[in-house]
Amino acid sequence: MSSIKTIGLDADDTLWHNERFFSEAQNMLADVLSEHITDSDLAAVLLEMQRKNVPIMGYGIKSFTLSMMDTALAVSNGKLDAAAMVQILDIGREMMAHPVELLPAVADTLEKMSHNYELVLITKGDLVDQERKVHMSDLGNWFSHVEIVSEKHPQTYQSIFGRFGGLANSAMIGNSVKSDVLPAVQAGAWGIHVPYSVTWELETVETIPEHPRYFEADDIIHAANIIANI
């Protein structure tokens, strides 16, 4: 019998695909701006815009759309025409309407875990978009709570897990070492990293830490097995 009572789960790239839609959007932006900048230079400018904008505007598609617009204005020296602006806004709108594509085994594993643990979805991003995705995913039933937060600090996990099973009896599953696993472990909970094929540059860490409450899993089934043995 596991000592874990509460499991926190990240959403984007842990339950469903996300980063790949941002990569697709970046490719579309590259097409719009092809006369002004090469694809690889664009990637660097866009990343810098996001680095600057995320602390002010937060995570998610709206903030990303403004970063695309900022990038377009910068690389065109402010001479971007209205048609291109419309195209960029449409890229953002399309992302907001994108269907939710679950990662393999997620629905079954969540259902099974929900019999033994209290499941809490812990995600950052746009409130409206994240609520839409939870609704469209049909995973909402397996969660007793959904927490949409602006940032994932150790205090974030302290306050969420403190309200449920307590930190020592809580585990966090997520694809980001930086946001999902490290701060949860630092707060006193357990952390299970399930990598996704792509990691957003702003979520990368240089070294994977070693810690007795930190685990690496191949997929969500493996993560559930690890937690069952804690």
Residue ranges binding Mg ion (CB under 5 A): 10, 12-13, 175
Q: CB 31 → Mg ion: shortest distance, Å?
A: 27
Report the C-alpha gap between 102 and 216 in whole angstroms: 20
Helix (H) or strand (E) holding 146: strand 145-149
Nearer to Mg ion, 6 or 175 (CB): 175
Nearer to Mg ion, 90 or 201 (CB): 201
**SS3 category, 100:** coil
Q: CB 2 → Mg ion: shortest distance, Å?
A: 23
Q: 37: which residues sit within 8 A by CB, 6+ positions away? A: 45, 75
Q: CB 140 → Mg ion: shortest distance, Å?
A: 18
Nearer to Mg ion, 51 or 90 (CB): 51
Nearer to Mg ion, 13 or 118 (CB): 13
Nearer to Mg ion, 80 or 174 (CB): 174
Q: CB 46 → Mg ion: shortest distance, Å?
A: 19
Q: CB 110 → Mg ion: shortest distance, Å?
A: 15
CB 60 within 8 A of CB 129: yes
CA dihedral 33, 35, 37, 40 (to 10 degrees): 80
For residue 227, what are its two tokens?
């937690």
> Taking the mean position of all CA atoms in its chain, how far away is CA 221?
19
